[in-house]
């Protein structure tokens, strides 16, 4: 399995930190983690002040995530690794 596929697999299972090669939008990130099934659900969750990035409530669904950002939602915590 290629390194790229490993990163994608880990993003879905949540077993390992997601490895960022490029910045990723917050709504897409939460979808890959299985927190939301659709973009519309992600939008409402984010704009409903249910998501934190680096300890701060984040309401911008298109917020870019970078290495070492910490995303929290529904009692789960994800760290974006370089």
- What are the domain boundaries of the chain? 3-81
Q: Which is more confidently placed, 23 or 82?
A: 23
Determine if residue 38 is left, alpha or beta; phi over 0 gives left, psi from -120 to 50 gives alpha, anything else beta: beta
Quick check: 35 pLDDT over 50? yes
pLDDT of residue 5: 40
Is the dihedral angle over the CA atoms 14, 44, 25, 56 positive or is it negative? negative
Residue with tokens 């930190």: 17
Q: What is the DSSP letter of 35?
A: S
pLDDT band (50, 70, 90) for residue 17:
low
Backbone angles phi and psi of 9, in degrees to 5: -60, -45
Instruction: State pTM to two decimals.
Output: 0.71
Taking a C-beta distance cutoff of 8 angstroms, is the pair 10, 19 a contact?
A: yes
pLDDT of residue 82: 75
Fold of 3-81: 3.10.290
């Amino acid at each position: 399995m290629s390194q790229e596929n490993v990163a994608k697999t880990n993003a879905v299972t949540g077993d390992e930190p997601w490895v960022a090669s490029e910045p990723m939008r917050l709504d897409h990130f939460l979808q890959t983690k299985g927190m939301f099934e659709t973009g519309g659900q992600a939008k409402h969750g984010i704009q409903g002040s249910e998501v934190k990035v680096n300890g701060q409530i984040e309401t911008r669904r298109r917020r870019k995530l970078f290495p070492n950002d910490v995303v929290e939602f529904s009692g789960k915590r994800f760290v974006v690794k370089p």
